[in-house]
A and B are shown apart, each in its own frame.
Chain A
Amino acid sequence: MAAVEQRVKGAVLQPLHDAEEERSMFSRARIAPRERKVRVTQQLAAKDSQGKEFFTFAVDVRFGSKWKEADIVGCVYLESGDVFVQRGESYRPAAFLVGKRSKPVSDVCRAGDELAAR
């Protein structure tokens, strides 16, 4: 679990924090939350349709004293280190959150049996 949290912090939280530090105060974007917290939402790794193991996670955010759950959700592939985040119905590489153009990646972050059921 700690490895998943570390990977999410490195691939999602830190880049987001750095981008928010650089951003103009008068940006049209949402004001940065005061705090972010990673939750690993799966105790055991799941396998996608290609048999690769992944863990799902959620990032909770705090504005003022109020926490908003699952502001960001996604999954981590510990073996490759890949991190994906959900946008709409699809998943994209985590770098999308800091503005890297990237297309949705199919068949990731979904268990093989879940995909078979779809």
Chain B
Amino acid sequence: MHRRHALHRLLKGSFFLACAAGSAVMTAGSLGYFDDDALPAFVVEKLPELRFEALWLAALKVHVVAASFSLPACLLLVTGLSLKAPVLHRWLGRLTGVVVLVALVPSGVIMAFDAKGGAWVGAGFVVSALIVAWGMVQGVRSARAKDFVSHRRAVWHVLGQMSVAVSSRALLLGLDAAGVDPDAAYVVALWAPLALSALAVELVFPRRPLAERNRRENPALRVDRLVPVVVARPSR
């Protein structure tokens, strides 16, 4: 049991470190998007074939700023440090929810329509964005309902998909080193981490059992409502 617990801590720690380091490197590498004198290589590749150039360029900037905030914020939100400070957790969670739903997801979907790698890669970005949006909405709803088991599962789906930004790039480097054709590598490097992240969250954070959900959804079945009735009987 101790060994399993240690392994769990090691995996979680490695995941956090990799995501935090990846996020920092990506943020530093994205500063060039705000330089008016030079075009970054990622933008040069796209021009002039973009269908809606001004919209795409604006979406890129919004996405970069939103991602630079959201990924570290989500990492902070699932750490023990933030969970021990409920007020901070609540307000940081609200802010992150707004940034993700108003900026990160819409800008990502706009960029997905001109994704490098074609329709399969574009579809992958849209699926990932939908999981993030669904996870965030469910995360907020379950937090408001004080259903913290569902909340944890939903927000880990959000974090899992955000981590794809890091794992996908790392996989792309590995596939390039292995000499894989870049067109195929783009598809694999997106879909594999996307699907594996979603699967890992489903396995690590199982759904609440049906009986427990029914009790929660039907207040009459809740134990705290039933107890006073049982206690009250003998006193009559």
A residues contacting B by CB (< 8 A) are 19-20, 23-31, 63-66, 87-88, 90, 96-101, 104
Contact = CB atoms under 8 A, between A and B. Distances in A.
A51 B42 CA distance: 36
B86 interface: no
Contacts of A66: 181
Nearest to A64: B179
B40 A29 contact: yes
Contact of B29 (A20, A26, A88): A26
A90 to B, nearest CB: 7
B44 A99 contact: yes
Contacts of B37: 101
A23 B28 contact: no
B81 interface: no
B44 A96 contact: yes
Interface residues of B, number: 29
B172 A87 contact: no
Contacts of A28: 42
B179 A65 contact: yes
Contacts of A30: 41, 45, 116, 182
Nearest to B180: A64
B205 to A, nearest CB: 28
B27 to A, nearest CB: 10
A99 B29 contact: no
Given A24-B29, A87-B47, A88-B49, A29 B38 contact: no
A31 B173 CA distance: 8
A104 B47 CA distance: 11
B90 interface: no
B173 A87 contact: no
Contacts of B178: 64
Interface in B1-54: 22, 25-26, 28-29, 32, 37-45, 47-49
Contacts of A104: 48
Contacts of B212: none
Interface in B170-201: 172-173, 176, 178-182
Contacts of B176: 31, 63-64
Contacts of B42: 27-29
A15 B232 CA distance: 84
A18 B172 CA distance: 21
A27 B49 contact: no
Contacts of A20: 41
Highest count of chain B CB atoms <10 Å: which of A24, A28, A29, A99? A28
A23 B47 contact: no
B152 interface: no
15 contacts: A19-B41, A24-B25, A25-B173, A26-B29, A27-B40, A29-B40, A63-B179, A64-B179, A64-B180, A90-B48, A97-B44, A99-B39, A99-B41, A99-B44, A101-B37
